[in-house]
Amino acid sequence: MEYTLADERMDYSGAELRSHFIRDAFGLSGDSMVAFRGACRVSGERLVDLEDFRAGETVWGDDMLHFIVEIFGVNLSHITALQRLLCALARDVVNSAAGGPVVKRSGDDLFVGDGKLSVSVATVSPVSGLIHLGLNVRTDGVPVEAACLEDLGLEPGAVAMELMSQFTRELESVEAAAGKVRPVD
């Protein structure tokens, strides 16, 4: 899996959660992952979570670290499991960088105390599985009680590179483990 951290800031509107966005915007083909920093403004038809959509929710934040993952040939259950793995690794990366266990995970949500650190969703397109994970860099513009990387003293670029590296290593390890066993009758 290839991955990259964008040099330029870009905002996330939900339109980026689509097949081949990473290829179109970053030139990476196949299974890939990108990170970029920018605002988050998702509402209306761009909300993938049906409960949030029906409730008329919005996902807002003025400064977030966004991750988009695209993996081909997976179903919704598979990409959702990978989303949970990504969130668990994000918890571990942030806790390690912060010097202790400050982040807790509940499903695909990350918290510092009662403050929500993340937003995340997994879905499928006709050709791939897609994940968006956003971590608050600052709490400005977040409509719920929130936590952020800045309050933990963490540099977003370093968090991004470490998380993408660990996620890629985990996927490679899964493939290696699957390739060394024989089927049973």
Which domain range does residue 107 map to?
Answer: 2-178
Q: Amino acid identity, residue 54? A: R
For residues 179 and 92, give the distance between their C-alpha atoms in angstroms, rounded to a whole number: 27
For residues 21 and 41, give the distance between their C-alpha atoms in angstroms, rounded to a whole number: 17
Strand 32-42 and strand 2-5: the pairing is parallel
Whether 161 is covered by a domain: the verdict is: yes
CB 116 within 8 A of CB 146: yes
CA angle 23–8–98, rounded 5-degree value: 100
For residues 46 and 42, give the distance between their C-alpha atoms in angstroms, rounded to a whole number: 6
Q: Is 70 exceeded by the pLDDT of residue 50? A: no
pTM confidence score: 0.93
Q: Amino acid identity, residue 56? A: G
- Kindly state the percentage of the chain with pLDDT values over 90: 83
Whether 185 is covered by a domain: the verdict is: no
Q: Is 80 exceeded by the pLDDT of residue 85? A: yes
Reported as type and span, the H/E element at residue 50 is helix 50-54
For residues 96 and 158, give the distance between their C-alpha atoms in angstroms, rounded to a whole number: 12
Span 55-81, average pLDDT: 90
Q: Pick 141 or 181 by higher pLDDT.
A: 181
Q: Is 80 exceeded by the pLDDT of residue 48? A: no
Here the CATH number for the domain that contains residue 13 is: 3.30.930.10
pLDDT at res. 58: 64
Radius of gyration of the chain (CA): 16
Q: Is 80 exceeded by the pLDDT of residue 40? A: yes
Whether 184 is covered by a domain: the verdict is: no
Which pair of tokens denotes residue 125? Answer: 């397109």
- Kindly state the percentage of the chain with pLDDT values over 70: 91
Average pLDDT of the chain, as a whole number: 92
pLDDT at res. 53: 46
Ranking 20-34, 133-147, 152-166 by mean pLDDT, the lowest is 133-147
User: Minimal CA–CA distance to 163: which of 185, 135, 142?
Assistant: 135
pLDDT band at 44 (very low <50, low <70, confident <90, very high): low
Which pair of tokens denotes residue 119? Answer: 């937003």
Total domain count, the chain: 1
- The model's pLDDT over 112-156, given as tens digits with 9 standing for 90+, comes to 999 999 999 999 999 999 999 999 999 998 888 899 999 999 999
Residue bearing tokens 């982040």? 103
Q: Is 70 exceeded by the pLDDT of residue 180? A: yes
